[in-house]
Amino acid sequence: MSKVFQATHVGKVRHNNEDSLIVIEPETFVVADGMGGASAGEVASSMLVETVKNFLTNSPAPWNEITLAQAITRANEEIWNLSQQNEDYRGMGTTATILYLDGDRACFAHVGDSRLYLLRNGILEQITEDHSYVETLVRRGEITEAQARVHPMKNVLTQAVGAMSEVQIDTANFSAQPDDVFLLCTDGLTNMVDDETIARILQTSPNPAEDLINAALDNGGKDNVSVIVVGVD
Ligand code: CA
């Protein structure tokens, strides 16, 4: 079994926590960052984690990245349908980043700008790509990573679960090794804390989830922040 640490915090500025996270047996980890007016963001992200949990626990294991994507597709239908039925929920959506570990294999399914990182041999690598407008500009070479970090449209997503009738989901599978450390997090961490600090905390802290949250709060805590850290045996 892996060693798992998880934490979420409303941050220092916002009044609601629109992030949701869940650990599903066996070895499945989900973070979601909801968006939408009033309480709609909380509704979207909590529907995401609940629907994914129900879908997976009713699917025969072992799962793979296709199963994870099917779970997100189901959540997309449910969130979209509710948003069409209820005026208060119009336009709501959520990110979804799911990691599943099965022995020496790992796979993920991903939508939005929450992130999956892998720390291996002391090197922190971002595994997922952000589905954001600024990331599109970076990939086209129109702006730099540094400009993306302070861009006025940095919060605009190009894909979100439940925001449209269909959603495009990134998936992949790869090998997991002993001592790999996976981090799933919402942008409330990555907008507040640089990669170097994240890597240092993952390598040295006995309570990495708590210490990552504290680092985000120390740097301003402008957004909700959620993290799941998974250390592979
Ligand atoms: Ca956020």
What is residue 88's DSSP assignment?
A: G
The whole-angstrom separation of Cα 169 and Cα 78 is 16
Task: Read off the pLDDT of residues 78-126 as tens digits, 9 standing for 90 and up.
Answer: 999 999 999 999 999 999 999 999 999 999 999 999 999 999 999 999 9
Q: Ligand 1 centre and the CA of 212: distance in Å?
A: 15
The yes-or-no verdict on residue 149 having pLDDT over 90 is: no
Quote the pLDDT of residue 28.
98
Q: Ligand 1 centre and the CA of 226: distance in Å?
A: 9
User: How large is the angle between the packed helices 65-85 and 40-57, nearest 10 degrees?
Assistant: 140
The pTM assigned to this predicted structure is: 0.96
Q: Ligand 1 centre and the CA of 223: distance in Å?
A: 6
Residue 2 confidence class, pLDDT cut points 50, 70, 90: confident
Quote the pLDDT of residue 38.
78
Domains and CATH numbers, the chain: 3-231 (3.60.40.10)
The protein residues having their C-beta less than 5 angstroms from ligand 1 (an ion) are: 33, 186-188, 223
Q: Ligand 1 centre and the CA of 61: distance in Å?
A: 31
Chain-centroid distance of CA 3 in Å reads 19
Q: Ligand 1 centre and the CA of 222: distance in Å?
A: 9
Q: Ligand 1 centre and the CA of 186: distance in Å?
A: 6
Task: Read off the pLDDT of residues 9-64 as tens digits, 9 standing for 90 and up.
Answer: 999 999 999 999 999 999 999 999 999 987 899 999 999 999 999 999 999 989 99
The whole-angstrom separation of Cα 233 and Cα 230 is 9
The yes-or-no verdict on residue 1 having pLDDT over 80 is: no
The yes-or-no verdict on residue 67 having pLDDT over 90 is: yes
